[in-house]
Amino acid sequence: MKTIHVLILAFFIFSAPFQILAQTSKTDLKINYSHVHKESSKDSHSIIEKWVLENGALNYSKSYTGRLGKKSPEKKQQNLSDEQLILVKKLLNEKELYKNIPSPKYSDFKSPYTAIHVNLILKKNTESFEIDLYEVVESITKNPTYSDIKTLENLLNSFLKK
């Protein structure tokens, strides 16, 4: 009888950390990320993409304005596994995206132009971080933080069902 109690106790001791990891991994991270590609010309339009990760659920949407406004919006949803959430957290740490970059001063870009506005809000436990970038395409693609955010975007997209 003592053997059974010891086995049961050992099971709870060794499984508890994994249960806690599974619970916290779904709730201790929130991502709200938007990527707006805006063209200002005689055929002005915008493509707005959004990714929201909350409680382990990844939601994606894509919409269009201006001359592309008649295109149908897209939506995808995927519940992420603990392993996928660990990959996201690892990437966020490796790319050092837990930081604040304040909202840019919006420039009067000379028309015609193509600009990108990226807004990434991360919530890690009780801390919040926000990166806000807005530049013309030629400049933003040279920004290392933008490249790191695009790496995150690619990872999130890889989790979405096709």
Are 121 and 33 spatial neighbours (Cβ–Cβ below 8 Å)? yes
Q: Provide the pLDDT for residue 90.
A: 96
What is the model's pTM? 0.80
Nearest to 33 by CA among 136, 116, 121, 147: 121
pLDDT digits (tens, 9 = 90+) for 42-84: 889 999 999 999 999 999 999 999 989 899 999 999 999 999 9
% pLDDT > 70, the chain: 81
Q: Provide the pLDDT for residue 27.
A: 80
Confidence of residue 18 (pLDDT cuts 50, 70, 90): very low
